[in-house]
Structure 1
Amino acid sequence: MKLYDYFRSSAAYRIRIALNLKGLSYDSIPINLRTCEQCSPAYRDRNPQGLVPALETPQGFLSQSLAIMEWLDESHPESPQLLPGDIWLRAQIRSLACQIACDIHPLNNLRVLNYLQGKLGVSDTEKTDWYSHWIATGFEALELQLSGSGFCIGEQPTLADICLIPQVYNALRFKVDLSPYPAIRQVYEHCNQLAPFQKAMPENQADAIV
């Protein structure tokens, strides 16, 4: 498999964690979002949205991180499950994952922040305020739903943890105060002790900018 990737992309970061947890090998193909490489016709042939990640599989190209992770789970059931347990637990995991991937992340991703500054002319301070506001709004609700086990829910890393860790990483990069969220910080610290999460960290990628 080939993962079309960018080291700081939260969505691509999720897929790196998922592949590592599943023990699956892949080739990383860096796509430079800062130079708009994702906008090129060659890349849009792979992913018409012009976003990362895209995963090249034996069946073809797949985009959208949640869809990719569910495909990985269903196509490789022999490895640790990202959606384990009964139907109720899986629904709870999906709920947490969607809160992060569908409600928090889209408001704060690179193309939104670029639009705020490039088209609407907001200042750096206003951009940071925007980012911090939506992180706080999402994290306040999320904090109340975590299990306190060291993972978001249950006793093993799941789709929810895979979505949370990149979001916390980027919140820290934007210097968001995470002291009001001890349960979130516990999950972040616990998961980052595990090799699959460490290997997926942005600074450990070949295209990382030091």
Structure 2
Amino acid sequence: MRSQRWMETLESGMEIMQPVLYTYFRSSCSWRVRIALAFKGIAYDQVPVNLVKGGGQQHANSFKALNPMKQVPALSIDGITISQSLAIIQYLDETRPGPRLLPEDSKKRAQVRMISDHITSGIQPLQV
């Protein structure tokens, strides 16, 4: 299922696995992560997880082993798999250089997290 391009060579010559995003095209949570990855210029591979077909591919044992919550998005990166879009975005911001996703100022960062939480736990369930 993964694309052919999932190894990346660093300047040091060390090979690492390219991040893999398990996603569904209609998932607004997955969109958040795709936007963050693009904004930071991070190359990654996508593995589509169809949430409808055959009762939902997220219920397959192979995906459940990867993400016991059986949800998308899930990002395999740096030897771990992270689920929940906001946790993924915060991890990317803390571990990857480049444009910041969150403000440096702790008060402004708290405001962004507050707004993000309103969206993910307040607005999004009603939208879906």
Q: Which category of TM-score, normalised to the shorter sequence, fits these structures?
A: 0.7 to 0.9
1:75 to 66, 72, 95: 95
> Which ranges in structure 1 are unaligned for 5 or more consecutive residues?
110-210
1:43 to 39, 53, 63: 63
Choose between structure 1 and 2: higher strand proportion: 2
Q: Determine helix, strand or coil for the equivalent of 2:103.
A: coil
Q: What are the residue-to-residue correspondences of 1:1-210 with 2, within 5 Å?
A: 1-35=19-53, 36-76=56-96, 78-109=97-128
- Scaled by the length of structure 1, the TM-score of the pair is 0.50
Structure 2 length-normalised TM: 0.81
2: CA distance between counterparts of 1:83 and 1:94?
9
**Equivalent residue letter for 1:73:** D
Q: Which amino acid aligns with 2:114?
A: S
**Structure 2: which 5+ residue stretches go unaligned?**
1-18
Task: Provide the rounded CA distance (Å) in 1 between the counterparts of 2:90 and 2:76.
Answer: 15
1:204 corresponding residue in structure 2? none
Structure with bigger helix share is 1
The residue type equivalent to 2:20 in the other structure is K
Task: Work out the percentage of aligned pairs sharing the same amino acid.
Answer: 44
CA distance in 1, matches of 2:125, 2:73: 14
Partner deviation per Cα, 1:135-192 (whole Å, 9 max, x = no partner): xxxxxxxxxxxxxxxxxxxxxxxxxxxxxxxxxxxxxxxxxxxxxxxxxxxxxxxxxx
RMSD of aligned alpha carbons: 1.0
Cα deviations by residue, 1:75-134 (Å, 9 ceiling, x for unpaired): 01x21111113111111111111110121113443xxxxxxxxxxxxxxxxxxxxxxxxx
CA offset at residue 59 of structure 1? 2.3
